[in-house]
Structure formats: structure tokens, C-alpha cells
Amino acid sequence: MYFHYDLINGQLKNISAYSTFVPSESWMKKNIPAVLDHEQLHFDITEYCSRKFCAEAATYDGCPHEKTKLKQLFNEVNKECDQMQQLYDDETAHGLNRDAQQQWSNKMNELLKESTDYTARK
């Protein structure tokens, strides 16, 4: 997860966050559907956290001093994301527990539906 903002005339503008996946850095070498489903959900968790960050960042007033708050918010959400990723792996046994995997899939689908897409902010 990464974030970006512009500083225009001393005001924070165009705050955005994005989730990435770099195929060349993936350990996945074989196309195994169950494993791909598990890994896709890791990406979905990151996407949800990106949306959470942007939703909170959208409440900032744009003053230059808010750069520090913005970085702090990003670090907090990123830490929460890491914790959620670990909980997901623990509860699903890295995707081996199919029932838990389905529960997480349902949970993330709901969270993504409820969260706002952040493609256009400030």
C-alpha cells in the first residue's frame, strides 16, 4: 500500500492511496486456484485498508501541518493492515482451512462493498 499527495500553494491536495501487486516478486509459480484465491484475498485486504486510509484522509483540512498527521495515519492504517493480514493467515491456516477461507472471503466482500472507492478525492 502506498499513498501520494500534492502540495499546491501550501495546501494538501489530491490525496490518494493505492494497492499494488508485483508479479515478479511473487513466490507463486504454479497456477493453483485455491492458492490464488487465498492470495487474492491478501490483495483485497490491502485494498480495503487503502480505502480506509483515504476515507480518513479526506477529512483533513489540507493545511501544510497535516502532512505529519497524514503520514502518521498512513503508518497506523498500514500497521492495522499487517495485523489483519496475519490474522487472516492464522485463521485460514494460509488457505488450508477452506471454511475459514470462505468466511474471510465473505467478510472482505462485505467490507469492500461498504467502503467507498477512493479514485477521486480532493
What length is written for the chain?
122
Contact call for residues 5 and 17 (beta carbons, < 8 A) = no
- Over residues 89-95, the mean pLDDT reads 96
SS3 category, 20: coil
- Within a 13 Å sphere around the CA of 103, how many CA atoms are in the beta-carbon half? 11
> Which pLDDT tens digit goes with each residue over 2-24?
998 888 887 888 888 888 887 77
User: What is the pLDDT, as a whole number, of residue 120?
Assistant: 42
More confident residue, 27 or 9: 9
Task: Report the predicted TM-score, pTM, of the whole model to 2 decimal places.
Answer: 0.87
User: What is the pLDDT, as a whole number, of residue 119?
Assistant: 54
User: What is the pLDDT, as a whole number, of residue 31?
Assistant: 79
Contact call for residues 116 and 51 (beta carbons, < 8 A) = yes
> Which pLDDT tens digit goes with each residue over 33-85?
888 899 999 999 999 999 999 999 888 877 777 888 999 999 999 999 999 99
User: What is the pLDDT, as a whole number, of residue 118?
Assistant: 64
Contact call for residues 81 and 1 (beta carbons, < 8 A) = yes
